Chains A and B, each alone.
Chain A
Amino acid sequence: MLKFFVGRVAVMFLTFVGVSIIAFSFIRLLPGDPVALLSGERVMSPERHAALMHDLGFDRPIVIQYFDYLWGVLRGDFGTSIVTKQPVLDQFFQLFPATLELSVCAILFAVIIGIPAGVFAAIKRGSFFDQAIMGTALIGFSMPIFWWGLLLIMLVSNTLQWTPVSGRISLMFFFPPVTGFMLIDSLLSGETGAFKSAVSHLILPTIVLGTIPLAVIARQTRSAMLEVLSEDYVRTARAKGLGPLRVIGVHALRNAMIPVVTTIGLQVGVMLAGAILTETIFSWPGIGKWMVDSVSRRDYAVIQGALLIIAATIMIVNLVVDLLYGLINPRIRH
């Protein structure tokens, strides 16, 4: 087990170095430099430009810049934003809870609705319900996020006035963040109505971000269920006289869930991409929007730092999962 662990950690370290090289070099491949952008349309003199490039260390050979950066990262220093002049790590942890909170809610929304819808469509295969659910899923999958978000805002927030337009909580609530998760912080604040306000602000972004994963999960569940329902053991279970709920819920769904769980995992990537747009529409202060803004500002430290932290987080989660697999299934260790 120790050998397995050491092997995994070594691979992880190499991957981390690989990601750091990619993150570091890709942003520098983009034309335009961060110093020139500081002055916008107002052109900076070549002398000032050179002086600032020197101050920021951008005039050194790129390999030296990289090792200097890597050395900093290994000591926990991810650099400072050239724009806000604040440490990248501080900003990341200030914004990440918002993205995480929204993503978790969206995936829960997708799973809670997507799986039952897929199962139902599979059971009623070919029926009107099946057609309706799959048709809706197709529309959901093809829906441009931006358009969908604006449509919901116009309908639900403005015409029906059921939810607020954007933000994380009503502006009348003002309390210092404790966890960064608004649902938790609003409860901790003890202010009447704060939690309700936080929930109402989450509804539309959750629906918008969860729509595509929901459609994918529903379609995947349906096809997996159809496959499993035609298996011999399901027929046997039915022949034994088991009730439909037990056949579907226990025998079929459990096996059908294997590819669905993989799909849900894959949706996390889709979710991050969708978060960028969703955060923009709903003025949601998360890392998606922050990273996109940083690309256009050539804020090297922010982009490479954020990419590295996200990659490291995913790698650590994978490592833990691999180790757990190893514990559960001894064959994997070999």
Chain B
Amino acid sequence: MNTYKKLIAATALAVLAGGMTMGAASAKTFVYCSEASPEGFDPGLYTGGNTFDASAHTVYNRLLEFKPGTTEPIPGLAESWEISDDGLQYTFKLRKGVKFQTTDFFTPTRDLNADDVIFSYERQWKADHPWNKYVTGTSWEYFAGMGLPELLQSIEKVDDMTVKFTLKRREAPFLANVAMPFASIMSKEYADKLQADGAMNQLNQKPLGTGPFAFVGYQQDAVIRYKANPDYWGGKQKIDDLVFAITTDASVRYQKLKAGECHLMPYPNPSDVASMKADPNLKVAEQEGLNVAYFAYNTTQAPFDKVEVRKALNMAINKQAIVDGVFQGLATPAKNPIPPTMWSYDEATVDDKYDPEAAKKMLEEAGVKDLTLKVWAMPVARPYMVNARRAAELIQSDFQKVGVKVEIVSYEWAEYLDKSKDKNRDGAVILGWTGDNGDPDNFLDTLLGCDAVGGNNRAQWCNKEFDELVTKAKETTDVAERTALYKQAQAVFKKEAPWATLDHSLSVVPMRKGVEGFHQSPLGDFAFDGVDIVE
């Protein structure tokens, strides 16, 4: 019997002796009722948050990490970094003595070094790298999505503990990108062994990194098990074992939490939150999510190419009714395209006032009569919009008051995403965005930049003034200067109104009363480094 099994057996006996029947009640086994099965365990290959929770935030680390509870990049596997004066070279000094996990399937013989960093990036970057196509349909989605293939000039090993990244152009969000899950640092030694054994796909099934928890096993669609990494450079964990009990239905997750079968759950039903707060055995953490839901007009099509029409329609939408009716109050009406928790958010922005009478008048003045508008309602719930159909119905009734007829349309999710990108799309789209790295560029340029027209820019809105401000901010490393530029960009956005900004939802995390040390992430991550149970 190996050590882990002994531990489990001892825990089991202890629990049984206590007359308890639930696994979650064992002394230091933390059970997280996760919302979905991970797609795999290589964070470079995927985009799903639950996949990152099961790999990047447990098993792996990155050169930089986001400070717990914030989006501020702090030293991770790199203990320091320097940026050259021209803003093109980033030199990272690696932390010494960082050990990779020792598991049943691999025993490392060396500590982290520059080779691991170079391997982790080049496998995603270089098409001729042996790991670039190591599984069927390999697609380095985030690496490509964040524009790194076009941005990187070179990655060099300066010495064993120093790595230098050279960029083709100045790009301030690069540091935040380095802290993202896709940039997790793998063990080259482990990868070499898998390659030699002809078992490369194991990298996506049996992950091994430097993170706080070592992977133990995965029973598909049911349970993922980890043990605390005793050699973790960030210090010993307070729990011994971490278990993800995959529970896809939110109501069932709540029942499991109530029954003590898990300690913490993500994404509760908004309607359950009040009773969770009333339960003496539970506590509920709340934080404004790093997201926005929007209603994007097609600004290339008449009459929505007129600012005054868009403004009038924005004034006809009762956002508070959406917040109350769709989110049961667990959201705030949005006035800017970036969330309030993000740096450079412009508090001074004055939102379009809900005023159906004035809106009706404005539409008349703009010469709009008998307008019919298609409103696209997403078929799925996302953190920023939990019931788009309901929101669309509320907008329908709002628009009716100003004489605009609404036809609600919806498509299957894949089709919805695809069709809504179309430059000739008929109608306005309800959609949203959750930040990837906490940088305003990730909202403003990604969703509203001219390059994103026909893609993420669902308003098909290309405004020269806005685009220049955002591009300039991207190339500037000084945060104060960037903040000023982004605030100007938000003012242009508000004046031009390519979207009606609908809401920023609250991220709500219910947990057992005894859970301590859990930091809610604005990025929506569930990371359990430093978590403890004091029940």
B12 close to A173 (CB less than 8 A): yes
Q: Are A193 and B16 in contact (CB under 8 A)?
A: yes
Residue B230, interface by CB 8 Å: no
B418 touches A281 (CB 8 A): no
Chain A proximity of B323: nearest CB distance (Å): 21
Most B CB within 10 A of own CB, among A56, A85, A161 = A85
Does B247 lie within 8 Å of A31, measured CB to CB? Answer: no
Let me know if A165 and B248 touch, CB within 8 A. Answer: no
Q: In the complex the two chains form, is A85's CB within 8 Å of B137's CB?
A: yes
Chain A residues bordering chain B, tally (CB within 8 A):
60
Are A285 and B255 in contact, CB atoms less than 8 angstroms apart? no
A56 interface neighbour in B136, B382, B432, Cβ under 8 Å:
B136
Q: When chains A and B are docked, how far (Å) is the Cα of A197 from the Cα of B258?
A: 19
B424 at interface (Cβ–Cβ under 8 A)? Answer: no
The verdict on B24 contacting chain A, using a C-beta distance below 8 Å, is: yes
A157 at the interface (CB under 8 A from B): yes
Contact assessment for B252 and A82 in the assembled complex, using a CB-CB cutoff below 8 Å: no
Bound form: Cα–Cα A296–B259 in Å: 31
Decide if B245 touches A167 in the complex (CB within 8 Å).
Answer: yes
Which partner residue on chain B sits nearest A283 by CB separation?
B247
Q: How does the 8 Å CB contact mask read for A186-198 relative to B, with 1 for contact and 0 for none?
A: 0000011100010
Alpha-carbon gap, A157 to B205, bound state (A) = 34
A139 and B235 CA atoms in complex are apart in Å by: 57
Chain B interface: which of A34-42, A218-226, A258-266, A318-326?
A34-42
Across the interface, do B39 and A84 meet the contact criterion of CB distance under 8 Å? yes
| Complex Cα spacing A181 to B165, Å | 51
| Docked CA distance A52–B139 (Å) | 7
Q: How far is the CA of A94 from the CA of B137 in the complex (A)?
A: 22
- List A contacts of B300 (CB < 8 A): none
Between A43, A150, A197, the greatest number of chain B beta carbons within 10 A of the residue's beta carbon is seen for: A43
Q: Say yes or no: is A33 at the interface (Cβ < 8 Å to chain B).
A: yes
For chain B, the bracket of interface size reads 35 or more
Complex interface: chain A residues within 8 A of B252 (CB): 150, 153, 165-166, 281-283
- Give A191 Cβ to nearest chain B Cβ, in Å: 8
CB distance B137 to A285 under 8 Å? no
- Bound-state Cα–Cα, A255 to B415, Å: 54
Task: Tell whether A23 is near chain B: CB-to-CB under 8 Å.
Answer: no
Across-interface contacts of A197 in B (CB, < 8 A):
21
B201 interface contact, C-beta 8 A: yes
Q: How many A-B residue pairs have CB under 8 A?
A: 174
With a cutoff of 8 Å between Cβ atoms, the chain B residues found around residue A158 in the complex are: 255, 258-259
Contacts of A161 in B (CB 8 A): 259
A154-165 CB contact bits vs B (8 Å, 1 = yes)? 100110010011
Q: How far is the CA of A165 from the CA of B414 in the complex (A)?
A: 33
Flag whether A174 is at the interface (Cβ < 8 A). Answer: yes
B29 lies within 8 A of chain A by Cβ: yes
- The answer to whether residues A31 and B412 also contact, given A41-B417, A166-B252 and a CB cut-off of 8 A, is yes
1/0 contact string of B215-230 vs chain A (CB within 8 Å): 0010111110100000
Pick the residue among B15, B37, B255 that contacts A165 (CB under 8 A): B255
Q: Determine if A82 and B136 form an interchain contact, defined as CB atoms under 8 angstroms apart.
A: yes
Q: Which residues from chain B contact A6 at a C-beta distance below 8 Å?
A: none
Q: Chain A's nearest CB lies how many Å from the CB of B262?
A: 9
Contact A48 B144 (CB under 8 A): yes
The interface of chain B, by Cβ under 8 A from chain A, is 5, 8-9, 11-12, 15-16, 21-24, 26, 29, 31, 37, 39-40, 45, 47-48, 133, 135-139, 141-142, 144-145, 201, 204-205, 217, 219-223, 225, 243, 245-249, 251-252, 255-256, 258-259, 261, 382, 411-415, 417-418, 421, 431-433, 452, 455-456
Q: Enumerate chain A interface residues (CB-CB to B < 8 A).
A: 30-33, 35-45, 48, 52, 55-56, 80, 82-86, 91, 94-95, 150, 153-154, 157-158, 161, 164-168, 170-174, 177, 191-193, 197, 280-283, 285-286, 289-290, 293, 296, 298
Instruction: Name the 9 nearest CB pairs between A and B, nearest first.
Output: A32-B414, A171-B23, A285-B221, A85-B135, A31-B415, A43-B455, A285-B222, A172-B23, A80-B136
